[in-house]
Structure 1
Amino acid sequence: MASRKLGVIGGSGLYAVDGLQDAHWQSVDTPWGAPSDDLFCGTLDGLEVVFLPRHGRGHIHSPSDVPYRANIDALKRLGVTDAISVSACGSFREEMAPGDFVIVDQFIDRTFAREKSFFGTGCVAHVSMAHPVCGGLGTLCAEAARDAGVTVHHGGTYLAMEGPQFSTQAESYLYRDQWGCDVIGMTNMPEAKLAREAELCYASVAMVTDYDCWHPGHDAVEVSDIIRVLTRNADAARRMIKALPALLGTDRALCPQGCDRALEHALITSPEARDPEMIKKLDAVAGRVLSGPNAAIG
């Protein structure tokens, strides 16, 4: 049985995790450029953990500028098998109140200024995004969050907007009333798509900071208000992370949902037509299918 290695991608307000043994910051070079920051590596109750601050320490990357491909490649390159995204979001639902966590299970991607795939000219692949997150990993995150004393909503659709501005009121009503979205954020896309291409089990924990601008009983989003809630949410997220090793364990079987085999039938380009330079860039995220027994399968 393989070993499990947990990656945690920390969003706004979460720039470090506590309690790691043998902790150290490690730089990682990727073919896609530098990741958002060095990665914080160590063990937590026997489980290997790699933490990456999505926006960098000090919050230096805007949502559109986050190096998503480099981040996922770096996690995969360090042996991460399961990745948890922890990120701030606005809520479209009265019951999903500031301070609550939402375990996202679906996305609508409205981003447009970001590279969204590791694949392209020279090696084309199409992965299924019908089920964009790992249900099993999400369930364990929900349990860990409850153990941390957080109100958790298991299931919800995340609207990924480009940003960096917040929504207009018309957009907020559209996403809530006509599209049926539950939360809104700026960073889970293309991150979830790239994690899928990298065959990582990926779960999204959305931490509610506000009601966007649809709610008649609340003012429009103000950064100062969000920061106050962010601080509380970050503390709760650290408690959730501390509860995860006991639930995850250190051994890892094949993912029942097939996240770790997402590329099994995704490669389209014939082996003889694949660009060698592109194949080199894909060594970490797709090496299993490009260099193993399935390398010739198109």
Structure 2
Amino acid sequence: MATVGIFGGSGLYQLLTGAVEERWIETPYGPPSDKVVLGELGGRPVAFLPRHGRGHTIPPHKINYRANLWVMKSLGVDAVIGPCAVGSLQKHIEPGHVVLCDQFVDRTSGREDTFYEGPIVTHVSAAEPYCPILRAHALGVCQRRGMAVHGTGTMVVVNGPRFSTKAESRWYTQMGWDIIGMTQYPEAYLARELELPYINISLVTDYDAGLVSEGAEAVTHEAVLEVFAANIENLRGLLAELVETLPETSASPAKTALTGARLA
């Protein structure tokens, strides 16, 4: 069993310490992205699952988000951490900064995004999709570590795998949204459906395409990986301290997400 679940990607596969066990877990929703890796981080038992699969072989629109979240729920975790790489839509949010999302805007399509397909109709509120307890804790850890951090932010989630056109990116910027990514929906919302407190930690790797005309270069996959690699040790250290000092989450709004949500 594990107390904390972490989804991650490139550079985080060797995150855990101590005796490490790999386990394949079947789910009612099909296969997860990969085997879950069980070990320790910050002195706590942790489950790590590479959301794109080991070797980064699964594009964001093909990830089986329901299976991945079911794996974490089946392991009994009390909190889920979802670090990811994102692009900035605002000039003051610079590459290398960390954004702790409190909102998302879904611009994806065709993704399996609920566990509740009937016959009991269930409407889970997504008004505040991220756990405020975990976000406040992460903000304090980032500040203690001297990291450039934004304590709130809205991520627009696009389907991928393509990056945005300049027109799309400028529209997102004009809407006032802060960052852009491809994996927070439905991952964050599915965690809420399972009453799992969830936090996003977004590492900004680039300026998105709409800022090209103001001096920034258009995003490329190579550039994203370069900035991510340069900051991976900071992210590992942040995750270790975050897990080691994780607060009690029993009062998280996620724990009562299903209260009053079912029409039965």
* SS of residue in 2 equivalent to 1:76: helix
Deviations 1:163-205 (A, max 9, x none): 110000000110011x210000000001111000010000111
* SS of residue in 2 equivalent to 1:248: coil
Q: Give the corresponding residue for 2:92.
A: 95
Runs of 4+ in structure 1 off by over 4 angstroms are: none
Q: Give the corresponding residue for 2:202.
A: 206
8 Å contact kept, 1:160–1:189:
yes
Distance 1:222 1:180, change over 3 A: same
Q: Give the corresponding residue for 1:259.
A: 254
Q: In the TM superposition, what is the alpha-carbon distance from 1:253 to its structure 2 partner? A: 5.3
Q: Give the Cα separation in 2 of the matches to 1:80 and 1:172.
A: 36
Q: Give the corresponding residue for 2:73.
A: 76
Q: In the TM superposition, what is the alpha-carbon distance from 1:147 to its structure 2 partner? A: 3.8
Q: In the TM superposition, what is the alpha-carbon distance from 1:43 to its structure 2 partner? A: 2.4
Q: Give the corresponding residue for 1:231.
A: 229
Q: Give the corresponding residue for 1:187.
A: 183
Letter in 2 for 1:104: C
Q: Give the Cα separation in 2 of the matches to 1:12 and 1:127.
A: 31
Q: In the TM superposition, what is the alpha-carbon distance from 1:24 to its structure 2 partner? A: 1.4
Q: Give the Cα separation in 1 of the matches to 2:42 and 2:116.
A: 36
8 Å contact kept, 1:26–1:40:
yes
TM-score by length of 1: 0.84
Q: Give the Cα separation in 1 of the matches to 2:42 and 2:244.
A: 8
Q: In the TM superposition, what is the alpha-carbon distance from 1:214 to its structure 2 partner? A: 1.8
* SS of residue in 2 equivalent to 1:32: coil
* SS of residue in 1 equivalent to 2:139: helix
Q: Give the corresponding residue for 1:245.
A: 243
* SS of residue in 1 equivalent to 2:99: strand
Deviations 1:84-133 (A, max 9, x none): 11001000111211111100000100001201100113232110111010
Matched residues, number: 262
The unaligned stretches of length 5 or more in structure 1 are 271-298
Distance 1:253 1:56, change over 3 A: closer
Identity %: 40
Deviations 1:124-178 (A, max 9, x none): 211011101001101222223334442111100000001110000000110011x
TM-score by length of 2: 0.94
8 Å contact kept, 2:2–2:47:
no
The unaligned stretches of length 5 or more in structure 2 are none
Q: Give the Cα separation in 2 of the matches to 1:9 and 1:185.
A: 15
* SS of residue in 2 equivalent to 1:21: strand
Q: Compare CA radii of gyration and give the structure with the larger one.
A: 1
